[in-house]
Amino acid sequence: MSNEQPAKVAAALARDVYALTKYKTQKLALSALNNLYKSNLAFADDNLLTATTGGPPGFKVSTGFGFVLLGKSKALKGHAFIIFRGTQYLADWLTNGNLTTSRSESGFLVHDGFHSAFNTMKPRIKDFMKVIQQPKNGIHTIHCIGHSLGGALATLCARWIGTQKSTYLYTFGSPRVGLEAFAKNTTDKLGSDKVFRVYHKTDPVPKLLPWPYAHVPASGIDYYMYSPGSHFSAAYHLMPTYCASIGARNWDVIKGETEETKTDFGIARWLESKGSYSLTVTVVGWLEQALVYVLKKCLGAAHTALAGIVGGGITLIDKLAYVLAKGINLAKNISRWVILFIKKIMQVLGMKYVADKIQLTQNFIRSILHRLQRAVTIASQQALMKII
């Protein structure tokens, strides 16, 4: 029997946890939440999820960061909830110098900032898991829910608690959390049918962190939601906007919307195209896929090896620059694609490529990748500053 929460319920919980930042005092926030959820869930100081020392800069907040809750009503009996909110500091962790990884408890590489942040909450979640395991509580299903950074934390949490109980994951506008191997392992452990990743087309945050970072689920269904326009939109990152887009629709209806897929043939034609491009949502999507396409050309069947050696003080962009620079010196049918890719990035950034004046060295390629990442990060910062 399927035990997932309805889309509107999961979205409402991801939205309402922001009461912790909207009210002047924690007491007022708890009162508002209890009035809203009445007999379904009980919000109190003792089920507050807080950060402790040791988190990344900007993470040591005075308010709670979420809740661990047991369902109280007949409809929610047997269900437990771990809910995380976002923070305006997310983009600050994802700038050029912060694309470093660390190993999660499952042994896979994840973003170090997210991992460090989650570690500050683990003691409280460990205590909650002891409560969940008590037979008298009758808990059979756990729901990990979060928006923005909260989605990243919910992903790490769902993988960490693993198969102790039937675990569902719901994320809204979440960035990528770990490398491809982490995404695949998490999907395998939870089951793709228990992962609900919801994102708007023009929400910039899901575009953060380049390949080999990958979204969870690695296979199965993504719950793509159309949003108008071609540029990143702060409004479509906001959790109330996600709630409005979902409305009363169920998961089966939402999954009917699909995002355009890009073939290798289409990517090649796009790289060769002569059109004018700027930093739009569509272009960022093309660049993401073009990066993977070109890296495959450079590394052949061993392209996934890149995902396994990011770390040890080597940043992701350093490694990408190294591989692309090596590609310049390979066969002409490979170097050509590297050059086209770098030219396309420069065009998007408003830079002019002059063949006889520009040397595509590793340092130059690194600087171009840094500038692209920074441009995407700035768009995300503009959105994130409005969520708190």
Contacts of 195 (CB under 8 A, 6+ apart): 168, 169, 186, 187, 216, 217, 220
Higher pLDDT among residues 355 and 275, named by residue: 275
Tens-place pLDDT, residues 322-356:
899 888 887 788 889 999 999 999 999 998 876 65
Higher pLDDT among residues 203 and 385, named by residue: 203
pLDDT at 312 over 80: no
For strands 141-147 and 166-172, give the pairing.
parallel
Residue 357's pLDDT is 53
pLDDT at 41 over 90: yes
C-alpha dihedral, 292 to 147 to 55 to 141, nearest 10° = -100
Q: What is the mean pLDDT of residues 150-159?
A: 96
Residue 330's pLDDT is 79
Q: What is the mean pLDDT of residues 21-30?
A: 90
CA distances from 222 to 6, 179, 206, 259, 261 (A): 16, 18, 12, 9, 12
Higher pLDDT among residues 87 and 143, named by residue: 143
The amino acid sitting at 155 is T
Could you give the percent of the chain with pLDDT greater than 90?
A: 52
Higher pLDDT among residues 53 and 161, named by residue: 161
Higher pLDDT among residues 386 and 231, named by residue: 231
**Closest by Cα among 176, 220, 174, 229 to 201:** 229
Residue 59's pLDDT is 59
At residue 109, what are phi and psi to the nearest 5 degrees?
A: -80, 130
Where along the chain do its domains lie? Answer: 7-259, 264-380
Q: Which CATH homologous superfamily contains domain 7-259?
A: Alpha/Beta hydrolase fold, catalytic domain (3.40.50.1820)
Higher pLDDT among residues 301 and 244, named by residue: 244
Tens-place pLDDT, residues 42-63:
999 999 998 754 455 555 555 6
Cα atoms found within 13 Å of the Cα of residue 85, Cβ hemisphere only: 27
139 burial class (0-12, 13-18, 19+ CB within 10 angstroms)?
Answer: buried
| Cα–Cα dist 111/140, whole Å | 30
pLDDT at 192 over 80: yes
pLDDT grade, residue 376 (50/70/90)? confident
| Cα–Cα dist 222/214, whole Å | 13
Q: What is the mean pLDDT of residues 121-144?
A: 94
pLDDT grade, residue 256 (50/70/90)? confident
CA distances from 124 to 46, 118, 163, 181, 241 (A): 10, 11, 19, 27, 30
Residue 155's pLDDT is 98
Could you give the percent of the chain with pLDDT greater than 70?
A: 87
pLDDT at 319 over 70: yes
Longest dimension (CA), the chain: 75
Chain-wide mean pLDDT for the chain?
Answer: 86
Residue 212's pLDDT is 80
**Closest by Cα among 262, 318, 326, 321 to 300:** 326
At residue 379, what are phi and psi to the nearest 5 degrees?
A: -60, -40
pLDDT grade, residue 378 (50/70/90)? confident
Q: What is the mean pLDDT of residues 123-129?
A: 94
**Closest by Cα among 207, 259, 270, 262 to 233:** 207
pLDDT grade, residue 96 (50/70/90)? very low
